[in-house]
Structure 1
Amino acid sequence: MNILFVCSKNQWRSPTAEEIYKNHESIHVRSAGTEPGARIKITARLISWADIIFVMEKKHKQRLIQRCPDEMSQSKVVILDIEDHYKFMDPELVDMIRSSVDPYLGGG
């Protein structure tokens, strides 16, 4: 399964999620951001690659739909509702991501 994590700048939240799941045996993970200054910017190709897209906030889903409506029409998107209050690998952020994402992975 290919999983894409998306936040704004691809600096704290989505890279944390990618780090958590990068060694999971049955999934491949990537992360990207929606902002022009993002470390890795979202592309139509990344959206098409993903079997499931986890966005940190509702606005990220809206931005993906605006930029890549064709690719997004085929995408499964889950909004995690994790606001931008955390640094990379913040223990609270890790717990929030795991508790939200693991159910989609059959228990992680």
Structure 2
Amino acid sequence: MTNILFIFSRNKWRSPTGEQVWRNHPEVAVRSAGTSPKARRTATAKDIQWADVIFVMEEKLKNRPKAQFTRLLEYKDINILNIPDEYQYMDE
């Protein structure tokens, strides 16, 4: 089982969509979280430790988790999906 974490600043549209799309896949466990204090669900150290794969939506968002969880991300890759902030929840 691979643990996938989707991170976006407010965890409002794109990251919950990623979580929903992969939720029923038999080979992955998935979560979504945000980096902002105003996020629907804020990323925690436990989320970072849990994740095998981390995705952010845009290049500019890659540094937010790195700044907040520097040591925990030392040996983890953050993958950029390049999905701009123009989509609502579950948009195609």
**With structure 1 as the length reference, what TM-score do the two structures score?**
0.81
Q: Deviations over 1:48-98 (max 9, x none)?
A: 10000010012222011101100111212101111111100001xxxxxxx
Query: Displacement of 1:41 after TM fit?
Result: 0.4
Displacement of 1:46 in angstroms is 0.5
Q: Greater CA deviation, 60-69 or 19-28? A: 60-69
Question: Higher helix fraction: Structure 1 or Structure 2?
Answer: 1
* Residue identity matched to 2:30: V
Q: Indicate yes or no: 2:21 matched with 1:7.
A: no
The secondary structure found in structure 2 opposite 1:70 is coil
> Where does structure 1 lack aligned partners over 5 or more consecutive residues?
92-108
Structure 2 CA distance, aligned partners of 1:58 and 1:44? 21
1:101 — aligned with what?
A: none
The structure, 1 or 2, with the larger RCO (C-alpha pairs under 8 Å, 6+ apart) is: 2
In 2: Cα distance, 1:70 partner to 1:40 partner? 21
- Hey, which bits of structure 1, 4+ residues long, moved more than 6 A? none
In 2, the alpha carbon distance for the partners of 1:59 and 1:15 equals 19
Q: Structure 2: give runs of 5+ residues left out of the alignment.
A: none
Which residue is 2:25 aligned to? 24
- 1:71 and 1:78 map into 2 onto residues whose CA distance is 16
**Aligned-residue RMSD, C-alpha:** 0.8
For the Cα contact (< 8 Å) 1:48–1:75, is it kept in 2?
Answer: no
Count of residues paired in the alignment: 91
